[in-house]
């Protein structure tokens, strides 16, 4: 396992959009890559969770994040996976265009709240709507993997948000859900990132690769050339299941 902590929260905020340029790399052979954007109100533990995953350690105190990208290589089900994790600034205005740019950069998203802070929970919907708006989530757009995460599970005595409320909002918004304690458990945090990766992989597998698209086009042209005199009704065209394609 290899970790590269390329940025830390003491680093200055990025100055330009080029920082988020380029295409997400995913699929193909060799190392898989996933870009995760961690969203949530200030103080919910975005940095603590990210650093816990990357270094296995819990570090108590940070200055409020300006912005940080962490890089981390690990193995999931025997496959090498390269994570790039963008730890956003909690104080950032969810309406700011800057945040939309970061969302465009990501393949998958964590929306974090802490179980002892109702306000952080109330922010979830706004972040999810911003993801939908930016990534164009609709019935026709590919699914965007999002996980709602209730952090600080260790603060049970101060709990303000029930587990069932977290589950309910996640289900309503079409997201995955987990409660973790960055403070007490590296395993929980690792599970969170692993599940997000697996979901991302599953969503990606349903998208058509150029090879798969060519196959579909070949089948369509074969079919339509064979239509000739038979003129079969269009609603009886064969269906091409995307998930059975080689991608």
Ligand X SMILES: Nc1nc2c(ncn2[C@@H]2O[C@H](COP(=O)(O)OP(=O)(O)OP(=O)(O)O)[C@@H](O)[C@H]2O)c(=O)[nH]1
**Given the rule CB under 6 A, which residues bind ligand X?**
40, 42-48, 60-62, 64-65, 89-90, 151-152, 154-155, 181-183
As measured in angstroms, the least distance from the Cβ of 52 to ligand X is 8
As measured in angstroms, the least distance from the Cβ of 181 to ligand X is 4
Closer to ligand X at the Cβ: 33 or 90? 90
Closer to ligand X at the Cβ: 100 or 154? 154
As measured in angstroms, the least distance from the Cβ of 175 to ligand X is 18
Cα–Cα distance, 90 to 108 (Å, whole number): 18
Closer to ligand X at the Cβ: 33 or 84? 84
Bridge-based pairing of strands 108-114 and 146-151 is: parallel
- The answer to whether residues 148 and 175 touch, using CB atoms and an 8 Å cutoff, is yes
End-to-end Cα spacing for the chain: 28
Closer to ligand X at the Cβ: 42 or 226? 42
As measured in angstroms, the least distance from the Cβ of 13 to ligand X is 12
CB atoms within 10 A of CB 222: 10
Cα–Cα distance, 58 to 241 (Å, whole number): 45
Cα–Cα distance, 244 to 247 (Å, whole number): 9
Indicate the residue whose CB is closest to ligand X.
Answer: 90
């Amino acid at each position: 396992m290899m970790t590269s902590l390329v940025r830390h929260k003491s680093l200055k905020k990025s100055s330009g959009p080029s920082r988020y340029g380029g295409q997400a790399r995913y699929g193909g052979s060799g190392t898989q890559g996933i870009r995760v954007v961690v969203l949530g109100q200030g103080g919910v533990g975005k940095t603590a969770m990210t650093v816990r995953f990357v270094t296995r350690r819990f570090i108590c105190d940070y200055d409020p994040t300006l912005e940080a990208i962490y890089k981390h290589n690990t193995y999931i089900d025997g496959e090498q996976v390269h994570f790039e994790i963008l730890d956003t600034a909690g104080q950032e205005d969810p309406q700011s265009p800057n945040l939309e740019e970061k969302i465009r950069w990501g393949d998958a998203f964590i929306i974090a709240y802490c179980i002892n802070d109702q306000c952080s929970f109330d922010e979830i919907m706004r972040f999810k709507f911003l993801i939908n708006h930016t990534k164009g989530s609709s019935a026709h757009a590919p699914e965007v993997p999002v996980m709602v995460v209730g952090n600080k599970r260790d603060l049970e005595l101060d709990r303000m948000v029930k587990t069932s409320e977290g589950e309910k909002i996640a289900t309503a918004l079409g997201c995955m859900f987990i409660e973790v304690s960055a403070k007490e458990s590296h395993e929980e945090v690792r599970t969170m990132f692993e599940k997000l990766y697996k979901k991302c992989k599953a969503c990606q597998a349903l998208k058509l690769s150029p090879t798969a698209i060519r196959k579909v086009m070949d089948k369509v042209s074969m079919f339509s050339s064979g239509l000739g005199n038979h003129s079969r009704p269009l609603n009886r065209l064969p269906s091409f299941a995307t998930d059975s394609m080689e991608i």
